[in-house]
Each structure stands twice: as structure tokens, then as C-alpha cells.
Structure 1
Amino acid sequence: MERVHALFDALWQDYTTRLCPSAAKVHTLLEEGTPLLNDHIALRTFALPKVGLDRLAAPFIAMGYEPKGEYHFEGKKLYAHHYEHPNPEAPKVFISELLVGQCSTELQTAVRGLVDQVDDDAMKDPSFLYSGRPWSLDSKTYEMLAAESEYAGWLAAHGFGANHFTVSVNQLSTLDEVKAVNDLLRQSGFAINESGGEVKGDPQVCLEQSSTMADKVSVNFSDGERDIPGGFYEFAKRYPLADGNLYQGFVEASADKIFESTDK
């Protein structure tokens, strides 16, 4: 587990420094004397051989993670897998990829041009997972990508890193409902993602989720600096299945709306 902890510590450091600085404040608000349990992180990529989902999954699989559920988001042209470690204390990992081949010729050409800049050897070191953007990008290309696919624009601008960490609400003692977490955060000035309702899912699907809206962060483009949506913080409450064990998967309809936390 030492390698797992080290990787997640590095991912957290990058996430709170570069993508979601407000996460540290949320963390402090919710911490009740014991460290918060991270339910899962999410990573984004393009479905192209050099950087596809399998490349991002490889470092986790090398540490004992196993593929579990798979998910399709047809409207957003995304495919995803989630991975679990045999040690239940280890966070789950949710990796999605944009099905580039289903997008416009203009988007495909731009994205392939970005991915062509990636050093294949760099992708063999797990540190690429929190290394940021391995390509040069101008703001005009970013705008073009984001206009067709918010996901493509976000990924092109930020590169590799956790777009969110997730507080396990099950572990909190004073706040035992996702709605109560939302209320506390609102009182502290945080905006909550209302797409599909502020709480996505319900006990019937064994999972409830909510999230903050993404921080606005400064990104350096080749033609100047811009403030754009970065990362967000998610909150998840899991319910027991018929066998008494907590549900460990994800709900497509809910995850689809969580993606919108980074919308402009």
C-alpha cells in the first residue's frame, strides 16, 4: 500500500495546487479529527493509442488494481472504466476517455496534433498521471475544442491530473447525508453542481453523489494566460446491496451530470 499512498499523495498535491485550490478549504471544513476517506479519483484522457485509457490504468494495475465496471456516455462521446484495489481502504479510480473518432474532423485533427507532441517514454513513468499538459496549446484551439466538447477543451488545457477527489460521506460522523454536506458548503460560499439536481442518484441505485462547481484557475496558453474551469470536489454516499456490502460501482446517469461540474 505504500506505493498506492505515495501516488495518491502526489495526485492530491497536484490537484490542490494546480487544479482545485479550494479543495484544501473543503477538506478542512469536513474533517472531524480523523483524516477524510477518499472514495475515488477521476482521470480524463483521449481515446488514442499513445494516451488512451489503458495507458492511464497501467500504473494502477501494476499496484494491484483490477478493472471492474465499464460505462458509456453516448451524448458526451465518452467511455469509462473504474478500478478497485483488493485493499478496500485504497480509493477507487475512475478513468474516462473521449472517443475522438466520433468527433468532428476539426476536433480530431486538433487533438491528434496535441497527442503527437507527447513523449512516449514519459508515459512509462507513473508521474505522468499528475504531470499536467504535455503539449503546447493556444487559446483559439482551446475555444474550438471546448465549443464542441467541454471535456476535450478541459483535457487539452489541463493535461493529466485528477479532475476530482471524492469525500466518502459514509465515513463522516456529524454529516451523514449528501444534502447536509451541500448545505454546509453553500453556507461557506461554495457553488454546488445543480445539473440533474443537487444530489444525483438515490438509495434505490445505492449511490448518492454531489459536487462543487470547478474552481476557476489560471492556465498558460501559448498566446497568453486565461482563467478557465479547473477541478472540483465530489461527495459520495454508498448504500448496502442485498448481501450487506456497500455498492462499489458508479451510476451512469449520475456520473454524466458530475462531468458537468467543469462546464463553463
Structure 2
Amino acid sequence: MDRIKILDCVLDGLMNRYKQRVPDVEGILSAMRNEQIIKDDDAIENDHIAFRTIGVPHLGIQSFEKIFTHYGYEKRDYYHFPSKKLDAYWYAPPTDKHPRVFISELRVNELSHTAQTIIRSYTAEVKSDPVDKLDLNDVQVVDQFLHSPLWRVPTLEDYNNLANESEYASWVIYNRYYLNHFTISIHNLPKGYNDIASFNRFLERHGFKLNTSGGKIKTSPDGGLLQSATVAEMIEATFADGQQQKISGSYVEFAERRVLPEYADLPADQLKRHHRRDGFEANNADKIFESTYRSQTKS
């Protein structure tokens, strides 16, 4: 099996579990089918998928990115989020049919001593880079890795202590490498639904709650990238001590990439991915991170 076919299978595994875990995905797709925006789910273009990691030895971006670069992804722009103490990169896919990948990482060394101690009490269980041990050409091995814990289940006390300082940290310490979100490309949808403002109205009409941090529509300074997102669904989490609490799971994002000025005269049926605004925007992403934050979920 060649690397592209392996990648297809890995992505299928990620999406299948993500759909099971995030009911909003099927809810949105069902509403789109019912309004005949799409005929079937294959008509959706996945703009990008995103993962959260922790910046400690053997883990973080330097480890996780190896999975995707193995399948032909190319590392692109760096982003820094000072207030959230995060770094990130995005990765360009090997073909236009594959989603971009966005990987972020918590700058653990910038947290309080207490938070660092909690995090390292879990991540210290990882003694070497786990990706180095994987046969990345074995679909089942990679799929299992992406859906398996790397450290023990946290206690509720540790989770809440982390959440009070970094909700990103608490999300990762419980959810590990679960897919954080996938993104529907809005610009490829039929007229009346192919801009973020219209699609947001469609979502709210069907009862989906949108992230309001920085406004429902997050827009890049050049006006070329517009994004919105649902608020993360709450999941019943069981902690190490047997206690349960509802916490943020994953969510769905939406992206409108406008045509670059130099291609403005191209007929719509000739537009390809490279004719549109590429990459990401730090300020947009900064607000979308908050889809899992209590300020949005009101938990």
C-alpha cells in the first residue's frame, strides 16, 4: 500500500471516531443533506484538521508531526499565541484532496510550578518518543496509536487545577491526541451557503451554538480567511478516582478562503485550492481555541 492510500486510511480512522464522539458532526451533515446543500458527505471538502499537544521531552510537535510528514505533508508557517502560551505550525498536504494539518503545543515551561508538576507527573510516563517506535506504513498501528492513551487517566483534582490556569492543558491531559476539530470548506458550497455569514445563519437556524470569542466570524487582516466554529460538546468524563464531571470534547470549524486578487477574473468552475488564500491566521486561531473553554461552553 502506498503512502497516500495509507494516509487515506489513517484519516478515515480519525474521522470515524471523531464523528462518534462529536454528535454535532452528523447533526450538521444531516442538516446540510436535508436542505440539499450536499447530496452526501463525500461532497464536503475538509479544509483542515487540528491536534493539540504538550511541549515536554519526547512529545509535542517535534514528535507528532513525524506521522504526517511521513505521508508527504510539508511543514509551513509558525504561529505563537502569547496569552495562551502556545506554539503551532501548519502542514500542507501531499494532494489537494487531503486536509491541511494544524498542530499546536503548550509551552509547559511558562506555566506555574504547580501546573508543570501536575503535567509532568503524567507525561513523565513517556520515556522515549512514541512515534519513533511506530511502523508508519502499518495503518492499524498508526490508527491504534492515535486513539490510545500515552499516560494514565488524570484525577479530577489535577484536571480542575490545570483548567484554572490553562484550559488547553486540562483538555490535552484528559483527551490526549483525540482529533480536536475538522473544518468544512464553506467557499465550495452552493450559492446562499458559500460564505461564512450565510452558513452561520444556517447553523443557528438548526440550533447549533457558535463560538462568540472575537465575534462569531473571525477574519484575517487581509480579509482572505474567514472562520467560525461551534462550541465544543460536553462529554461525561470519568477520572482516575472514579469521579465524573462534564468536560469539553471536540467541535466543528468552518472556513471560507477567498480567491486571491491575482485570480479574481477566473471563472468559478476553474478555481482550485491554490487560487485561494492559504495558510492560517494567528488571531483567528487564538479565538477558535476557545471553543473548548468554559467561557464558551458555560460549564
Q: TM-score range by the shorter chain?
A: over 0.9
TM-score (normalizing by structure 2) = 0.83
Counterparts in 2 of 1:202 and 1:77: CA distance versus 1, 3 Å? closer
Q: Look up the equivalent residue of 1:170 and give its one-letter code.
A: H
- What pairs with 1:16-165 in structure 2 (closer than 5 Å)? 16-18=19-21, 20-31=22-33, 32-34=38-40, 35=42, 36-118=44-126, 120=128, 122-123=130-131, 124-125=133-134, 126-127=142-143, 128-132=145-149, 134-165=151-182
Deviation per CA, 1:95-120, whole angstroms, max 9, x where unpaired?
Answer: 00000001101111111111112364
Distance change in 2, residues 1:104/1:16 (3 Å): same
* Partner deviation per Cα, 1:110-165 (whole Å, 9 max, x = no partner): 11111112364754333323335632210000000010001001111111111100
**Residue aligning to 2:223:** 205
Counterpart for residue 247 of structure 1: 277
- Structure 2 distance, partners of 1:249, 1:205, is 13
Name structure 1 gaps, 5 residues minimum.
none
Cα root mean square deviation, aligned: 1.7
Match of 2:268 in 1: none
Match of 1:171 among 178, 188, 198: 188
Partners of 2:104 and 2:211 in 1: how far apart?
20
1:23 Cα deviation after fit = 1.2
Alignment CA distance shift 1:129-1:205 (3 Å): farther
Residue 259 of structure 2 corresponds to residue 257 of structure 1? no
Q: How does 1:164-243 map to 2 (within 5 A)?
A: 164-174=181-191, 175-201=193-219, 204-223=222-241, 224-243=243-262
How far apart are residue 8 of structure 1 and its match?
A: 1.0
Segments of 4+ moved more than 6 angstroms: none
Identical residues among aligned pairs (%): 36
Structure 2: 5+ residue stretches without partners: 135-141, 264-274, 295-299
Contact kept, 8 Å, 1:132 with 1:161, in 2: the verdict is: no
2: CA distance, partners of 1:228 / 1:41:
21
2:39 maps to amino acid: G
Q: Take 2:230 and 2:216, find their aligned partners in 1: how far apart are those partners?
A: 10
Structure (1 or 2) with the larger CA radius of gyration: 2
